[in-house]
Chain A
């Protein structure tokens, strides 16, 4: 901090810092009023800087705990996530000799590697099995090619019985025939560097094989679909929140205090109930034998055979998420609307604008900062939600976060989860940037 402050100040004090130059100038400088001196004879600028440095240091010390907290709990995990999304040290660490020996092997040859590579693999695996690490390598490589996991597990059990004095290749192929498969070796070679783009490729529905990088078959693509769905559904949810929240926020800002306080409690009520309870309540309401369908059938709007599918699809996700995120739209809108004096609309009307024109041309533009804040909040929260989509979204209403959660807690493919998370982060930053370009980020007001 102190260093940085100095660096920033450097140009300003340069003539003084350069002692000879300043001294040479001193005689005539004082004649024509040159560098001003403080009472004790030091140049005023130096003395000012010294005084301010102390202030700056104190300010820094005051913010240091928070800064440390943020670094430790926010920046560091994000950094760790970014690192994990490209990190691939396990292959090189567990199979160092094999990786080295594979350097000369060309998968295009169509032949499995020769004896030296197998000998290196034997040495590596002996160590790895002792440390119980061979199964971890198998796990890692299994993400790229199904079946490698059991190749390593099986071979791990056989390694003690192998005879290093005999040719090892046949023994390995005997342990698992996949060792004779070029594809197995190609995957090991491809993922032997310490860093990989494999997770990011997978996260973008791409794969790298003998033909190079290309998109997966249409039927196997999933993440691009999910990213697109996450964005579009989040946009729809944000739009719904705005549509429903705007009038409510207006009422809140314009009703007499007693009524508006009551309304505010109703708006905040969802916050006082657990997310799971709220989501389950929506299930009861929306399912086909649920309250809403029963009601519609009861009043004869739809017949019993054609009950509406309101849940376990995108509709369910949109309804439940809109409900959950509504307060995040209403609160910033309300606090901005509270600051718009009623005289603006009156002025517009007195100038001849009808209700709609007065609203659209005078009131609405002044609430844009609130809309911006609410929309950003809703959108970013929606993009990261996964519990609600999981419970009410069925298959067509789930988000990318559901896959991230899956890879974190079920498949344990943390590298892929990190890559997906990083892409989501990049996406949010890109949208933020676009918002700044289009609307301007100063145009966001939370109150």
Chain B
């Protein structure tokens, strides 16, 4: 994924022409399909948005299809590997982040998808491969949303609102605890960036021992002031309780905190780390279940469906063609476009998460990160 794609996406969202409402692609009924389907997702508000935007309409169009939810996405890779080893795959459609999709694809656990034949084209006929563009990070992955890891801060606990990600490292101006994710991804990049490394050089520097030491040294300066989180819900809670002055988490969580719960929290979009979430279909499904899964995924990732999801949660649709269709929040009536991570105002300075690079260095750096944490 490159910056241009992202910005293009955001710009399109900003235009948000209410004019053309694309109708759902006329779906032929599913042939030789199982009537039961297990969908794996993350639970919570996100799964709820999927249920409303994809599954309910799908069931309305295909009466008799029974959907079983499983909230195991956090352990999807491990469980899919275990299922494959046991020769008993019980899942049909699995929601995973892009890095997990790459891994599942590498391990041969997910089924390759041909976007142009198996996914719906845009309403104007643009093939899916072009509509999704660079977001198709691996041949098994069908992108769904663009989300980002951004920073929220307590407006009542800072003297002036932070404008740069480096506020995280500025203990003098912003004293207090900060919440960061307990993994190297994102944190090391931020550390190097705030240590003066140019954005485009970050991964080259991080590849070297010295670069890694430099990143950890920068993190050392705030180590005693960090609460490390592992679940996305932690930072919103910590912010709400006033336990931390600022903290990173998924932008949708922060949106809920600010717009729905009206907490005194502000968004710091600077250097937000973009990531993707989407579907994979397990490899080796029986024909009828595979057909059902493909039928569902084709429907669930068409232009209108992806745009619909943004009514329920502040994550950006992964199709370029969906961006103009993003409307208002289903209950709050807020215009959702300004809350999308891809909105040009929010995406002035973003970090491009290099999946390929992290696939190589994740194990090594994670071990180093954990060793650093435990020292």
Contact pattern, A 404-419, Cβ under 8 Å of B = 1, otherwise 0? 0010111111100000
Please determine whether B363 and A153 come into contact, CB atoms closer than 8 angstroms.
no
Please determine whether A222 and B228 come into contact, CB atoms closer than 8 angstroms.
no
Which residue of A132, A288, A411 contacts B362 across the interface (Cβ within 8 Å)? A411
Tell me if B318 counts as interface (CB < 8 A to partner A): no
Please determine whether B78 and A149 come into contact, CB atoms closer than 8 angstroms.
no
Tell me whether A219 and B227 are in contact in the complex, defined as CB-CB below 8 angstroms, given that A146-B360, A287-B241 are known contacts.
no
Please determine whether B77 and A219 come into contact, CB atoms closer than 8 angstroms.
no
Complex-state Cα separation, A288 to B179, whole angstroms: 14
Complex-state Cα separation, A409 to B78, whole angstroms: 5
B-binding segment of A34-42, A137-145, A318-326, A439-447? A137-145
Complex-state Cα separation, A135 to B106, whole angstroms: 5
Tell me if A403 counts as interface (CB < 8 A to partner B): yes
- Chain B residue nearest to A283 (CB atoms) is B237
Task: Count residues of A near B (Cβ-Cβ below 8 Å).
Answer: 41
- Chain A residue nearest to B359 (CB atoms) is A149
Cβ–Cβ < 8 Å partners of B362 in chain A: 411
Please determine whether A390 and B78 come into contact, CB atoms closer than 8 angstroms.
no
- Chain B residue nearest to A220 (CB atoms) is B371
Cβ–Cβ < 8 Å partners of B360 in chain A: 142, 146-150
Cβ–Cβ < 8 Å partners of B227 in chain A: 312, 394
Tell me whether A222 and B74 are in contact in the complex, defined as CB-CB below 8 angstroms, given that A136-B108, A394-B228 are known contacts.
no
Please determine whether A225 and B374 come into contact, CB atoms closer than 8 angstroms.
yes
Tell me if A232 counts as interface (CB < 8 A to partner B): no
Please determine whether B356 and A412 come into contact, CB atoms closer than 8 angstroms.
no
Tell me whether A412 and B81 are in contact in the complex, defined as CB-CB below 8 angstroms, given that A146-B361, A219-B371, A289-B242 are known contacts.
yes
Tell me if B200 counts as interface (CB < 8 A to partner A): no
Q: Return A76 CB to nearest CB of chain B, in Å.
A: 13
Please determine whether A150 and B356 come into contact, CB atoms closer than 8 angstroms.
yes
Cβ–Cβ < 8 Å partners of B374 in chain A: 222, 225-226, 229, 395-396, 398
Tell me if B222 counts as interface (CB < 8 A to partner A): no
- Chain A residue nearest to B369 (CB atoms) is A222
Tell me whether A412 and B241 are in contact in the complex, defined as CB-CB below 8 angstroms, given that A149-B106, A395-B374 are known contacts.
no
Tell me if A133 counts as interface (CB < 8 A to partner B): yes
Cβ–Cβ < 8 Å partners of B357 in chain A: 150
Q: Return B267 CB to nearest CB of chain A, in Å.
A: 22
Tell me if B68 counts as interface (CB < 8 A to partner A): no
Name which of B359, B367, B368 has the most chain A CB atoms within 10 A of its CB: B367
Please determine whether B106 and A219 come into contact, CB atoms closer than 8 angstroms.
no
Please determine whether B375 and A219 come into contact, CB atoms closer than 8 angstroms.
yes
Q: Return A145 CB to nearest CB of chain B, in Å.
A: 8
Which residue of A133, A146, A398 contacts B108 across the interface (Cβ within 8 Å)? A133
Contact pattern, B 327-367, Cβ under 8 Å of A = 1, otherwise 0? 00000000000000000000000000000110111111111
Contact pattern, B 61-89, Cβ under 8 Å of A = 1, otherwise 0? 00000000000001101110100000000
Please determine whether B361 and A220 come into contact, CB atoms closer than 8 angstroms.
no
Which residue of B79, B238, B359, B363 contacts A143 across the interface (Cβ within 8 Å)? B363
Please determine whether A220 and B106 come into contact, CB atoms closer than 8 angstroms.
no
Name which of B105, B106, B108, B360 has the most chain A CB atoms within 10 A of its CB: B106
Cβ–Cβ < 8 Å partners of B243 in chain A: 287-289
Complex-state Cα separation, A229 to B75, whole angstroms: 26
Contact pattern, A 202-238, Cβ under 8 Å of B = 1, otherwise 0? 0000000000000000011110011001000000000
Tell me if B103 counts as interface (CB < 8 A to partner A): yes
Q: Return A68 CB to nearest CB of chain B, in Å.
A: 19
Please determine whether B361 and A147 come into contact, CB atoms closer than 8 angstroms.
yes
Complex-state Cα separation, A142 to B357, whole angstroms: 12
Complex-state Cα separation, A297 to B77, whole angstroms: 46
Cβ–Cβ < 8 Å partners of A289 in chain B: 241-243
Please determine whether A222 and B108 come into contact, CB atoms closer than 8 angstroms.
no
Which residue of A135, A148, A150, A412 contacts B77 across the interface (Cβ within 8 Å)? A412
Tell me whether A138 and B106 are in contact in the complex, defined as CB-CB below 8 angstroms, given that A225-B374, A394-B227, A395-B373 are known contacts.
yes
Which residue of B77, B105, B228 contacts A395 across the interface (Cβ within 8 Å)? B228
Complex-state Cα separation, A207 to B1, whole angstroms: 36
Complex-state Cα separation, A229 to B370, whole angstroms: 14
Tell me if B230 counts as interface (CB < 8 A to partner A): yes
Cβ–Cβ < 8 Å partners of B365 in chain A: 146
Q: Return A348 CB to nearest CB of chain B, in Å.
A: 48
Tell me if B107 counts as interface (CB < 8 A to partner A): yes
Tell me if B177 counts as interface (CB < 8 A to partner A): yes
Complex-state Cα separation, A136 to B375, whole angstroms: 32
Complex-state Cα separation, A143 to B108, whole angstroms: 18
Please determine whether A411 and B366 come into contact, CB atoms closer than 8 angstroms.
yes
Tell me whether A136 and B368 are in contact in the complex, defined as CB-CB below 8 angstroms, given that A226-B374, A395-B228, A411-B363 are known contacts.
no
Complex-state Cα separation, A222 to B177, whole angstroms: 25
Cβ–Cβ < 8 Å partners of B356 in chain A: 150
Q: Return A280 CB to nearest CB of chain B, in Å.
A: 9
Which residue of A148, A219, A290 contacts B372 across the interface (Cβ within 8 Å)? A219
Cβ–Cβ < 8 Å partners of B108 in chain A: 131-133, 135-136
Tell me whether A220 and B78 are in contact in the complex, defined as CB-CB below 8 angstroms, given that A149-B106, A289-B241, A413-B363 are known contacts.
no
Q: Return A318 CB to nearest CB of chain B, in Å.
A: 17
Name which of B103, B356, B359 has the most chain A CB atoms within 10 A of its CB: B359
Complex-state Cα separation, A395 to B223, whole angstroms: 10
Cβ–Cβ < 8 Å partners of A221 in chain B: 371
Please determine whether A136 and B106 come into contact, CB atoms closer than 8 angstroms.
yes
Which residue of B74, B75, B107, B238 contacts A135 across the interface (Cβ within 8 Å)? B107
Complex-state Cα separation, A16 to B364, whole angstroms: 68
Which residue of B103, B238, B371 contacts A412 across the interface (Cβ within 8 Å)? B103
Q: Return B237 CB to nearest CB of chain A, in Å.
A: 8
Q: Can you report 25 A-B residue pairs in the complex whose CB atoms are below 8 A from each other?
A: A136-B107, A136-B108, A139-B107, A142-B360, A143-B363, A150-B356, A150-B357, A150-B359, A219-B368, A219-B372, A220-B371, A222-B371, A222-B374, A229-B374, A287-B238, A289-B241, A289-B243, A395-B228, A398-B374, A409-B77, A409-B78, A410-B78, A411-B366, A412-B107, A414-B81
Chain A residues with a Cβ under 8 A of chain B: 131-133, 135-136, 138-139, 142-143, 146-150, 153, 219-222, 225-226, 229, 287-290, 312, 390, 394-396, 398, 403, 406, 408-414
Other A-B contacts than A225-B374, A229-B374, 7 sampled, CB-CB below 8 A, are: A131-B108, A135-B105, A150-B356, A220-B371, A409-B77, A411-B362, A412-B77
A-B CB proximity, top 3 nearest: A135-B106, A146-B364, A222-B371
